[in-house]
């Protein structure tokens, strides 16, 4: 869930850079963001309960890409769920489940 609008706030001071500009450096990466992107790519399998490790492969490919460019990745997983966010998280899951269930019943494959 992160810090609301953090990327928007930081946008004015960010610069696009090629990975090679970080050669020889140690860079922290948000592994949950990568896991989320990887899970999106195999969302049908995950929804149906079909075994897949595509989301892990996605993360590993990113890590290997950084290493190929001489970057030492520090993989960060931001800890346990906070109890105060349980209601919001549960509501999001319920909405996602309803949307996915409706698509599958309707014959769509997201």
Domain boundaries defined on the chain: 17-79
How many CB atoms lie under 10 A from the CB of residue 55?
20
Higher pLDDT, 105 or 47: 47
| 58-90 pLDDT, tens digit each | 999 999 999 999 999 999 987 666 677 788 888
List phi, psi (to 5°) of 30: -85, 100
Do 56 and 46 touch, CB atoms closer than 8 A?
Answer: no
Look up residue 27 and give its two tokens.
């860079």
């Amino acid at each position: 869930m992160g810090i609301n609008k953090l990327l928007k706030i930081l946008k004015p001071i960010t610069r696009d850079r090629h990975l090679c500009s970080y050669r020889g450096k140690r860079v922290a990466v948000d592994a949950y963001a990568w896991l989320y992107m990887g899970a999106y790519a195999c969302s049908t399998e995950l929804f149906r309960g079909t075994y897949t490790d595509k989301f892990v492969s996605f993360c590993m490919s990113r890590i290997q890409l950084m290493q190929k460019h001489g970057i030492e990745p520090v993989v960060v997983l931001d800890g346990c769920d906070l109890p105060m966010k349980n209601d919001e998280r549960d509501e999001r899951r319920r909405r996602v489940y309803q949307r996915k269930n409706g698509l599958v019943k309707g014959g769509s494959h997201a």
